[in-house]
Amino acid sequence: MANLLLAVIYIAFISLGLPDALLGSAWPTMSQDLGAPVSWAGGISMTISAGTIVSALLSDRMTLRFGAGRVTAVSVGMTAAALLGFSIAPNYWTLILMAVPYGLGAGGVDAALNNYVAIHYESKHMSWLHCMWGVGTLVGPYVMGYALSGGQGWPWGYRYIGLLQIVLTAMLVFSLPLWKSRKATASGPVGAAGDSDAGGSGEAAAREPRKPLGVKGVLAIRGAKEILVMFLCYCAIEQTAMLWGSSYMVLADGVDKTTAASRIAVLYFGITIGRALSGFLTMKFSDPAMIRLGQSLILVGIVVMLLPLPNHLGVYAGLAILGLGCAPVYPCIIHSTPAYFGEENSQAIVGVQMACAYVGTMLMPPLFGLIAQYVTIRLLPLYLFAFLALMVFMHESLRRKRG
């Protein structure tokens, strides 16, 4: 039964990544069809991020009351409804409206699943699950491309993904009996786990019920601020590189625009392949060791980006190595959270972690955009290094306080 539930969670992570790249891949066509300026894609993206932050902050309260299984099923259902709403949107403002349940659903899935896996499964599964998210982000644009190239238009791209999400919602509903309190099977740093199940029965229900911690309660925990800042820094690095890596190739390294548009894929492949490899490495190395390894590779990638190698090899290799470095950091921070702070606090902390992640995603890439516009885009490696240095400092401070 545990393996069956794990398979459902793997599929859920693929599904979580499927819609993430749809807006970017379809927006040139969508903006033309809807008569919206190209820059207005930022409004949709920020609305999604705001909804995600809200639901992530509420995840502790929702999971305590309804259980991880129900929260995940309802959240995926909301995402499915939002995607189908995108597919029939007659104008830009309908897209903004549909972005609200999209963001709320995505944040609920992210926080509930990440904490559940951190408690109940080994670190290798966390890395492989996030690898599956990467697979979803790679497949999504191909689905949209299929719809566009077949003359069906962008609405059908969203419709296909929305229908897949409906199927997943049904799977999650039927899997609710599997989401039960049990001892964790993980042999990693986390010990026995007794999470609340879909129906609230079992060992967890017999415990003393606790109240949701809230943001204030989370911040009062020793070491929590450090791990939250680590999350913000990580997402600032990853998302800024994703958004501005291609522009950096063109404006700082002289790469052709068409070539840069395709070569930025080295960053995505680095993250996806790196997480597949990280799953095997976590069988030998602890979460803190994997985080340090990732941070070291990010540093190497930043340095290589600055090397004047022929045929733009420096920037290509640098972004690929940076992607490999990013790979273990996100899943290993999440997986280490119950070990640092206890299972009773982990859902609240993971929820705020997700919120910090999306704050980093929402604010830090646009901030570098201002730097690129008014100073120079050549500062991208130094911008990434500043967040890396802060993340390393916070990780070592966390280890001193909670290690």
The string of pLDDT tens digits covering residues 347-399 is 778 878 888 888 888 888 888 888 888 898 899 999 999 999 999 999 999 99
pLDDT digits (tens, 9 = 90+) for 231-244: 899 999 988 888 78
Please, which residues have CB within 8 angstroms of residue 216's CB and are 6 or more apart in sequence?
Answer: none
21 against 222, higher pLDDT: 222
Closest CA to 122 of 278, 249, 356: 278
Task: Pinpoint the alpha helices (H) of 121-223.
Answer: 123-149, 154-174, 203-206, 214-219
346 against 299, higher pLDDT: 299
pLDDT at 208 over 60: no
- Tell me how crowded residue 145 is: count the other CB atoms within 10 A of its CB: 13
Report the share of the chain in percent with pLDDT over 90.
20
Q: Residue 109 corresponds to which amino acid? A: V
pLDDT digits (tens, 9 = 90+) for 251-295: 888 887 767 766 777 888 888 889 889 888 988 889 899 999 999
Torsion of CA 224, 227, 229, 230, to 10 degrees: 180
pLDDT band at 205 (very low <50, low <70, confident <90, very high): very low
Closest CA to 270 of 292, 237, 248: 237
Scan for tokens 């819609």, then name that residue. 19
Residue 38: Cβ-neighbour burial (10 angstroms; 0-12, 13-18, 19+): exposed
Domain 2-212 has CATH 1.20.1250.20: yes
Scan for tokens 């309804």, then name that residue. 66
- Determine the Cα–Cα distance for residues 136 and 272; give it in Å rounded to an integer: 10
pLDDT at 119 over 70: yes
* Average pLDDT across the chain, whole number: 81
pLDDT digits (tens, 9 = 90+) for 87-113: 998 898 999 999 999 888 887 777 777
Predicted structure pTM score: 0.74
Report the share of the chain in percent with pLDDT over 70.
88
Maximum Cα interatomic distance, the chain, rounded to a whole number of Å: 65
pLDDT digits (tens, 9 = 90+) for 54-65: 887 777 777 777
pLDDT band at 190 (very low <50, low <70, confident <90, very high): very low
Task: Pinpoint the alpha helices (H) of 67-153.
Answer: 68-87, 92-120, 123-149
Question: In this predicted structure, which of 18-32, 216-230, 325-339, 344-358 has the lowest mean pLDDT?
Answer: 18-32
Structural fold of domain 217-396: Growth Hormone; Chain: A; (1.20.1250)
Q: Are 383 and 366 in contact (CB under 8 A)?
A: no
First to last CA, the chain: 34
Buried-exposed string 94-125: b where 16+ CB fall within 10 A, e elsewhere? ebbebbbbbbbbbbbbbbbbbbbbbbbbbbbb
DSSP state of 196: -
Q: Residue 241 corresponds to which amino acid? A: A
Closest CA to 283 of 127, 403, 131, 399: 127
Please, which residues have CB within 8 angstroms of residue 329's CB and are 6 or more apart in sequence?
Answer: 234, 290, 291, 294, 295, 298, 391
Closest CA to 361 of 121, 16, 14, 51: 51
pLDDT digits (tens, 9 = 90+) for 125-179: 888 887 887 778 777 777 877 887 878 888 898 899 899 889 888 888 887 777 7
Q: Residue 352 corresponds to which amino acid? A: V
Q: Which pLDDT score, from 0 to 100, does residue 387 have?
A: 96
pLDDT digits (tens, 9 = 90+) for 322-355: 999 999 998 899 888 888 888 777 777 887 888 8
Residue 1 structure tokens: 């039964």
Q: Which pLDDT score, from 0 to 100, does residue 297 have?
A: 96
Closest CA to 101 of 122, 80, 72, 126: 80
CA 11 to chain centre: 15
Residue 4: Cβ-neighbour burial (10 angstroms; 0-12, 13-18, 19+): exposed
Question: In this predicted structure, which of 21-30, 69-78, 352-361 has the lowest mean pLDDT?
Answer: 21-30
| Ranges of CATH 1.20.1250.20 domains, the chain | 2-212, 217-396
pLDDT digits (tens, 9 = 90+) for 171-186: 888 877 777 644 444 3
- Determine the Cα–Cα distance for residues 8 and 10; give it in Å rounded to an integer: 5
CA 402 to chain centre: 25
pLDDT at 118 over 80: no
